[in-house]
Every structure is written in structure tokens, then in C-alpha cells.
Structure 1
Amino acid sequence: MFISSSSTCTVNCRTVVYFFAGILTYRNNFEAAAREIALRYANVKIVTIFPYGMANGKKGSSLIRLLTKQLSQVGYDLTRDRSRRVISATQIIREHIEDAENILFIGHSAGGVIAYRTGLLLEEKYGVGRAQIFAIGCPKFYLKDIPYNDRFTYITGQNSDRITRIGSWRMPGSRQYRGKPGREIQMDFNPIHQGWRFHASYFLESVWTDSNQMFHTNSTDLITKIHELYPGN
């Protein structure tokens, strides 16, 4: 984990925002979004957590080995509520949120799974029930029908993202796993990106023009939507 240089607060912060990275993520992948967070939330600490490690410095066979390891870990996390990565993230987060009024978890891809499960562990074990959870381009996973889901927002894009087609919220025939996110939102992102590039572009400063000749950037539009849903006032 590391604290973003875009943070405007380090101690006794009113708002703490955590980005949870998925697989094959580099250290600076969330920095454009972090700058947008700093523009919208006062006295904010911005922390990035890499549950599956960073891809910085990995090339060729070492990158393939990292990917193989990460995919195995993701498969494990999709089916278990409290993996080692969830427990570790929870321990890290408890060091930063004691005085925070607003807590936001923003997870990308498999990081969205960790964000959801970390928030739930914080609530159930430590009584921290104010975190707002946002999962972006995340695979689906079985959800219990619990009030906690009201604070869980699932965001996808207009293009076909194969990661978001993985899994399901509800387990067929189960009376326990029949929940769903409090909100499911589809947004428009830069249409030039296709396939895996689209999946990787949600948080990037990717500039594009819509049919009305209005300029957008992916990171700006995404954080604007999150702030609209949870202004933190």
C-alpha cells in the first residue's frame, strides 16, 4: 500500500479513500482518479492497496508468473469471505480511519471483491459500519441478502467487459446467497478502448468526445459519479 501524493490530509482526516487494485496493476494506475478525489473531498487521505501485488518491474516470464499466481488468488477470494488478503487489508485500514467521518472503498476488477469483503469484515468484527463500497469492472460473486449491500455500488461501462460477465450475485437454489448490490450503474467511458484495454481504462485520464462534441475523461467522469452518489457532506 502507499499514500497518494494527491492527499490533502495525513492525520485526523475527515475523509479517507482506499483504492483496491486488481491483477496486473501498476503503482500509478489510480493517480488520475486520486487527483479528482482531492478536488471533490476536503481533508482527504487517499490510500492505494495492492492485495495481489504490483506489476511494476515485471516483464516477460516474470509477468506471466505473477499473472498465474494472481489468478489463483482471485479464484480463491471469489469463493471465500475472509481470505488472507481481506484480513490484511482490514488491519491496514483500521490504522487510518479512527477519526474519519467518511470512508470510501473503490475497487477495480478483483479489487472490488476485496473492497466489499473488507468493508463487511470491518462492520461485523469491528463495528465500523460507515464505509461506502464502489466496485468498478468487477467480477460478480455470491452476495448474502443483508443491509450492508445498501452501501455497495457496482459500476460497469457501455462496452462489453468480459470480467463483468464472470460469476453471479445469486447462488441458484440458495436461501442465503440471494442478494444484490444496492446500486448497479452503467456509465459511458472512452469507446476507443476495446477488450482488455477497456477493462484497464476506467481510472485513466483517457480523453474522448461524445456524440454532442462534449469532452470527457474516464477518471473525471467516474469520480464525478462517485461524488454525486456519495458527496461526503
Structure 2
Amino acid sequence: MTETYVSPHSTCTTKCRTVVCFFAGVLTYRDNFEDAAYEIAQRYQNAKIVMIFPYGAAKSTSSCSLMRLLARQLPQASYDLVRGRSRRVINAAQIIREHTSAADQLILIGHSAGGVIAYRTGLCLEEKYGFQHIQVFAVGSPKFYLKDIPYNERFTYLIGQQPDRVTQIGSWQKPGSRVYRRRPGREVQLDFNPDHQGWRFHASYFLKSVWTDSNQVFHANSEDLISKIHELCPLPDECRDSPTGI
């Protein structure tokens, strides 16, 4: 069941010029995006920040509860990976419509399986409800077949410098297909805290997770990630469309 709330870090609650929506993947706790929401609030004025959990939020730390939740969420995420418009996409589109009556900038940011939902929700909003200039950022997400459509130029795929098992799932292009043959408009690689390994690395993109690089420069995962998103999409009508490679 889809869960949602407005982040207390929002710098606007009504008639907001910018709406930023975070989409969670599986096994995600309610506060997972709050460090990143803080960084959004530092960079975007009059921004409402909406948290969307298409698969529900994790509420327990016990291994048994988490395994039961994973067993329920994984089939749903697998379904969404190959289906263009699931019930979770429709629900997310309706939620966003309720928050964007006065907005002229809509940014969708998804983590893991949430990146797939973010992409498909933005496309649904564009095709079904006439939204324009939506920017979508998928972070640490699996790949999925992309049609040859202009919408992809506003789709950015972000990964880290370490191998992330989730990002190795799937493919953008379907062999032999004349329809599914595109890639995201931008594919960007960022450095994140190298102390995290394996699944901890996959889970840390949006966390503060402070670290110092080899040049003794201070970093925080959430700050670096949102800084890159803001660099690519600072203000309404100023989002960069030119692709950049990894």
C-alpha cells in the first residue's frame, strides 16, 4: 500500500513553485530521505518536498519482519520493472497531482525500485494529465527497457563509483527491438562514501554519511547528491538537457 507524507523540511506548503518528490524502493524506512530533504531545502525556495513509498515503509528492525516485508515487496517491484503503468504508478500520479496545483517545477527523485516508479509516474503525468518539463532522477536503480521518446532527455540516471548489485540488474535496450532502444538523457557517476560496502553502499546514497577523500576534502553523500541534482536542474525552465556521460 502506498504511503506518503510531506517532509517537515519543506520550505513551502501551499501554492509552491517547486515540488520535489522522493520515491522509495523496497525495505526503506520513513526517515530515509530526510537528510536529502534538508539539502533540497537549502537550494530550492518555495519548495514542497513529498515522500512517496510505493511499496510501503519499513517499520520494524527485526529480521523476521524485514524478511516478511521483503517477500511482499519484491514481487511488486519485479512487476513494476516490466510493466509500464501499475497501480502504484497510478497512485503516485494522483498523489502528486494533489500537491502541484500551483507548481511550475516538478522534480521526481527515486531510489532503487523507486527510480523505476519515478520514471513511469512522470511519463504518466505527462501523457495522461498534460504535465510538462518534468525532471526525473533515478539513483542506484535497476535498468529497464526505454522507448525511443523525447521524455528520456529529462531522465537522469545516477550511480556510485562502486559496483552496486541493483544497478547491474536489467538493460536499457532490448536486443533487436526498434522500440526499446534508448538510454537516459544523462548517466552520471558520483563518488559516495567508500567505507560503505555491498548493500550498505546501495542504501547510503541519500544519507548524510560524511567522509573525507584522498585530498582531505570533506564530503557527505546527501549533500553531494543533491548538489548534483541542483546543478543539473536549478530553477524552473533552467534544467540542463544536454546529456553527459559517466
Q: TM-score range by the shorter chain?
A: over 0.9
How much identity, in percent, do the aligned residues show? 69
Supply the distance in 2 between the matched residues of 1:58 and 1:30 (Cα, whole angstroms).
18
CA RMSD of aligned residues (A): 0.8
In the other structure, the counterpart of 1:96 is 99
DSSP-derived class of the 1:95 partner:
helix
Supply the distance in 2 between the matched residues of 1:162 and 1:61 (Cα, whole angstroms).
23
DSSP-derived class of the 2:230 partner:
helix
TM-score (norm 2): 0.93
In the other structure, the counterpart of 1:207 is 210
Deviation sequence 1:135-185 (CA, Å, 0-9, x none)? 000000000010000100000000010000000000111111111100000
The reply on whether 1:139 has 2:129 as its aligned counterpart is no
Question: Displacement of 1:63 after TM fit?
Answer: 1.5
The reply on whether 1:86 has 2:86 as its aligned counterpart is no
The reply on whether 1:176 has 2:179 as its aligned counterpart is yes
Equivalent in 32, 37, 42 of residue 34 of structure 1: 37
Q: Please give the residue correspondences for 1:112-131 in structure 2 after superposition, counting only pairs within 5 Å.
A: 112-131=115-134
Supply the distance in 2 between the matched residues of 1:202 and 1:62 (Cα, whole angstroms).
24
The reply on whether 1:72 has 2:75 as its aligned counterpart is yes
Supply the distance in 2 between the matched residues of 1:210 and 1:101 (Cα, whole angstroms).
37
The reply on whether 1:44 has 2:47 as its aligned counterpart is yes
Supply the distance in 2 between the matched residues of 1:42 and 1:60 (Cα, whole angstroms).
40
DSSP-derived class of the 2:99 partner:
coil
Question: Displacement of 1:58 after TM fit?
Answer: 5.2
Question: Displacement of 1:131 after TM fit?
Answer: 1.2
Question: Displacement of 1:221 after TM fit?
Answer: 0.2
Amino acid in the other structure paired with 2:17: R
Equivalent in 142, 162, 166 of residue 165 of structure 2: 162
Supply the distance in 1 between the matched residues of 2:135 and 2:150 (Cα, whole angstroms).
13
Supply the distance in 1 between the matched residues of 2:121 and 2:207 (Cα, whole angstroms).
24
Supply the distance in 2 between the matched residues of 1:73 and 1:18 (Cα, whole angstroms).
20
Supply the distance in 2 between the matched residues of 1:131 and 1:196 (Cα, whole angstroms).
30
DSSP-derived class of the 2:108 partner:
strand
Equivalent in 15, 29, 36 of residue 18 of structure 2: 15
In the other structure, the counterpart of 1:54 is 57
Amino acid in the other structure paired with 1:61: C
